[in-house]
């Protein structure tokens, strides 16, 4: 697995995180204990979409984000169950599909592909062989879905099904991250596929407000602009006007997240995106996020989410909290980003 400036949880942490670490560490470990405790024997989870391949993938990335490994430590069994559940539910055409996955299987497929790409190289040889077979098939399916004939508005993106001829930015964000992760890991992902996805996202950014919409320029902008910001940052757009405009919109809107329809989803992407751009964006957002959500953790370690239940809510909250640990290769930040950038 390609490892880019990975840092341990004991050194190299973002200095802006120092004041929060004594509270975040135990909260995250409590959350991980909850997720491990509620996992079913087959690797799936209770509640919304827990039997799809997407939730075990999110949970698996949650453990990786704190530095836990599938070969050693207290959560090897949990992680390996997540991996095995996904691998056993891949169709011949490459699609990871199991259970109810919302409007269509591509969300779960993209997240599962991203997780397997991130964990590739960390597992024991037997599982690695299976990942080596499964991952190329999964990536080819994503590329085929992108290549379906679409009009100019939808070209380069993804939607609910592999054969969809329309697109949305949310599903496309996960697909783009899966492709980028795999490319960083050495997979033969064409540059043009990533560029087409970036171009698709840019066509859904409001030219003056800087926000990103779901299928338009402003629909669900509060919960999706962080996604656009993250994807631009991860795909070489740091310092570009579009990126700064997206970050500025996030800073104007994030305090409206609590109680909104996709609150946890928006927080996850805002945390990832503002960490990537760094400086005052991350500093201000991190202060608000930790102050707002640490106190909302339940006694059992979970967070309640109206979007898709406690397992989803807990996983995506931990993924937001653990950004400064920089354990997942996909979310590595350019180390030239200044902590005090304006």
Query: How high is the pLDDT of residue 308?
Result: 86
Scored b (16 or more CB within 10 A) or e, 109-148 reads bbbbbbbbbbbbebbeeebeebbeebbebbbebbeebbeb
Terminal Cα distance for the chain, rounded: 34
Is residue 62 within 8 Å of 328, Cβ to Cβ?
no
Query: How high is the pLDDT of residue 334?
Result: 52
For residue 178, which of 166, 169, 187 has the smallest C-alpha distance? 187
Query: How high is the pLDDT of residue 83?
Result: 98
Phi, psi dihedrals of residue 26, rounded to the nearest 5°: -65, -35
Query: How high is the pLDDT of residue 148?
Result: 98
- Token pair 């996904």 is found at 86
Is residue 52 within 8 Å of 89, Cβ to Cβ?
no
Query: How high is the pLDDT of residue 162?
Result: 96
Query: How high is the pLDDT of residue 141?
Result: 98
Strands of the chain (E only): list them: none
Query: How high is the pLDDT of residue 244?
Result: 97
Query: How high is the pLDDT of residue 333?
Result: 65
Element of type H or E holding 114: helix 106-119
Query: How high is the pLDDT of residue 342?
Result: 45
Query: How high is the pLDDT of residue 290?
Result: 97
Query: How high is the pLDDT of residue 9?
Result: 40
For 33-41, the CB contacts below 8 A with 24+ separation are 33/301, 34/300, 34/301, 34/302, 34/314, 35/59, 35/62, 35/63, 35/78, 35/301, 35/311, 35/314, 35/315, 36/75, 36/78, 38/311, 39/78, 39/81, 39/82, 41/81
- The structure's pTM equals 0.93
Query: How high is the pLDDT of residue 330?
Result: 82
Mean pLDDT by 10 residues, the chain (342 residues): 38 72 96 98 92 96 97 97 98 88 86 98 97 98 98 97 97 97 94 97 97 94 97 92 97 96 96 95 96 98 92 97 90 55 46
The whole-angstrom separation of Cα 169 and Cα 154 is: 10
- pLDDT tens, position by position, 1-51: 333 333 444 455 667 788 899 999 999 999 999 999 999 999 999 988 899
Query: How high is the pLDDT of residue 35?
Result: 98
């Amino acid at each position: 697995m390609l490892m880019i400036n990975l840092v341990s949880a004991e050194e190299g942490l973002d200095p802006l995180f120092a004041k929060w670490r004594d509270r975040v560490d135990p909260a995250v470990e409590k959350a991980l204990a909850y997720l491990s405790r509620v996992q079913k024997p087959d690797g799936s989870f209770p509640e919304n979409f827990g039997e799809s391949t997407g939730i075990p993938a999110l949970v698996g990335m949650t453990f990786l984000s704190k530095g836990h490994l599938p070969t050693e430590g207290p959560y090897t069994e949990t992680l390996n169950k997540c991996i095995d559940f996904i691998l056993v539910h891949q169709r011949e055409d490459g699609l990871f599909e199991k259970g109810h996955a919302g409007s269509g299987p591509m969300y779960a497929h993209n997240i599962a592909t991203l997780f397997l790409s991130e964990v590739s190289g960390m597992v024991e040889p037997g599982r690695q062989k299976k990942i080596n077979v499964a991952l190329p098939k999964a990536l080819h399916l994503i590329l085929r879905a992108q290549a379906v004939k679409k009009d100019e508005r939808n070209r380069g993106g993804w939607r609910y099904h592999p054969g969809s001829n329309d697109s949305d930015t949310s599903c496309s964000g996960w697909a783009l991250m899966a492709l980028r992760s795999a490319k960083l890991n050495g997979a033969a992902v064409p540059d043009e596929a990533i560029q087409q996805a970036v171009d698709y996202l840019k066509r859904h950014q409001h030219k003056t407000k800087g926000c990103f919409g779901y299928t338009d320029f402003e629909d669900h902008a509060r919960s999706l602009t962080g996604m656009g910001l993250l994807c631009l940052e991860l795909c070489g757009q740091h310092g570009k006007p579009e990126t700064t405009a997206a970050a500025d919109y996030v800073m104007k809107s994030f305090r409206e997240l609590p109680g909104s329809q996709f609150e946890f989803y928006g927080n996850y992407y805002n945390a990832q995106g503002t960490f990537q751009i760094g400086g005052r964006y991350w500093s201000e957002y991190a202060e608000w996020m930790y102050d707002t959500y640490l106190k909302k953790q339940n006694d059992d370690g979970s967070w309640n989410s109206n979007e898709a239940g406690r397992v989803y809510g807990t996983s995506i909250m931990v993924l937001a909290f653990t950004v400064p640990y920089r354990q997942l290769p996909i979310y590595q930040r350019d180390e030239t980003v200044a902590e005090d950038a304006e």
